[in-house]
């Protein structure tokens, strides 16, 4: 028996028969399809954004110009997800240096500690042998009672929603 799918404009979702014909394996089809899709993880930054970040760090690019480049990278990430048929979009995490640092930068209860300060001698030896760029890696450490002084990702979601009609998600580490 072939699976039965809903038409794109049918609502609400309804159960469909499994091609395996076992009732326990039936599924629900929504307007977004059998399984809504989303990207897990960051999308790669365009080379021109990486160049802009480096220029900004050297003092060759203003904060406003860097913000415009980030905005363009987010718009590009959204468009790429739309063109590939992703159902629930993100901003591609274009503005985030790292998944962990993102939280530490927004919560005053955290401080970023260079990983090098947290390593013992065995770890330091391993890092040297593997030629890892440990100098640029920091981890968040809780330094006081956890509190929030502003929303974590509302600005990211609002910006993305201005540039798509699809659902938007903001990944937050938990």
Q: Find where tokens 């913000």 sit.
A: 67
String of DSSP letters for 83-127: HTT-SEE--TTTT-S-HHHHHHHH-TTEEEEEHHHH--HHHHHHH
Which part of the chain is CATH 3.20.20.210?
42-168
Residue in 46, 103, 99 with CA at minimum distance from that of residue 70: 46
Task: Tell me the CATH class for 42-168.
Answer: alpha beta
Give 106: exposed, middle or buried? Use CB within 10 Å, 0-12, 13-18, 19+.
middle
Q: What is the number of residues in the chain?
A: 174
Q: Find where tokens 């718009």 sit.
A: 75
Confidence of residue 174 (pLDDT cuts 50, 70, 90): low
The tally of CA atoms less than 13 A away on the side-chain side of residue 137 is 9
Mean pLDDT within 93-121: 87
Confidence of residue 77 (pLDDT cuts 50, 70, 90): very high
pLDDT at 18: 41
Average pLDDT across the chain, whole number: 82
Q: Find where tokens 């042998």 sit.
A: 129
pLDDT above 90 (res 138): no
- Here the contacts of 151-158 (C-beta below 8 Å, separation 24 or greater) are 152/102, 152/103, 152/106, 152/107, 156/91, 156/95
């Amino acid at each position: 028996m072939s699976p039965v799918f809903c038409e794109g404009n049918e609502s609400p979702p309804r159960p469909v028969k499994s091609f395996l014909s076992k009732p326990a394996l039936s599924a629900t089809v929504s307007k977004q399809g059998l399984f809504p899709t989303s990207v897990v993880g960051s999308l790669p930054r365009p080379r021109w954004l990486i160049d802009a970040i480096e220029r900004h760090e050297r003092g060759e690019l203003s904060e406003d110009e860097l913000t415009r480049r980030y905005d363009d990278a987010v718009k590009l990430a959204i468009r790429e997800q739309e063109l590939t048929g992703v159902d629930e979009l993100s901003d591609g995490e274009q503005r985030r240096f790292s998944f962990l640092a993102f939280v530490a930068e927004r919560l005053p209860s955290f401080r970023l500690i260079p990983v090098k300060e947290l390593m013992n001698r065995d770890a330091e030896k391993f890092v040297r042998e593997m030629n890892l760029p440990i100098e640029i890696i920091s981890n968040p450490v809780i330094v006081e009672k956890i509190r929030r002084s502003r929303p974590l990702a509302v600005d990211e979601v609002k910006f993305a929603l201005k540039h798509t009609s699809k659902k938007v998600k903001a990944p937050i580490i938990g």
